[in-house]
Structure 1
């Protein structure tokens, strides 16, 4: 997928550890998904032999670069941080924990170590939705910055 250079593309990783059915996980995430309107969503049950428990979601969310109200033309880095702040607040995360990469066009907000078991919230990461990782990149998918298809290979076979 291609994205506008004036957009911030987020990969939002969610984990509801204390939910026991896919239906309950989807019900918990539906208001967030409806509000954020991701361009792609992936839901799955956590691997029983993995670090995470319960159910996982990966949201690909595209938001415009937010203009800095104090200055009409902030740097890309400033506008990125403003966009991250909007999403982080909605997820119940601290936007000051976002680490910007060297060129200022992207970064990561890593919420917690998955082996930390002293969490007392429903989500399992300190947030109601279980957000534990937010990746951001201006104009491209943070997990696929080159823009090629990720989920399948073209085998040339007709499936119909």
Structure 2
């Protein structure tokens, strides 16, 4: 019983730390984190579900809070956060596959969902396929490039940083 409580506390602590780091990174680099062309550096953290399932709620809550604190409209708060959640869940599902596949789910989910929010929520007059490209490029930079750099930095120390939660 005590071990189960410890695991729950550990899970919550990891999720909370990931959410907090996501929020801080997003708000500190806010000029790049919002808009039609966005490189949200905090999206590099979407690689973390490879290491711990606690990253899934951590990323979702971090994105949700970042969108609320960043002054986003309700559809962006909801669907932007869901895009990050979908990306995190599928990254977790791919964790035992080739490590280079891990950044793909958040890249795809954001590139497919966020342009619709920009078009219909913010009334951005650009064509949706063009915004899929611009959002996708930003996600490739943050998830694909920075996320893989983070992966390489953490992989060596994964057993020290992310003790198994099961």
Structure showing greater Rg: 1
Higher helix share: 2
Relative contact order (alpha carbons < 8 A, sep ≥ 6): 1 or 2 greater? 1
TM-score, with length taken from structure 1? 0.31
Higher strand share: 1
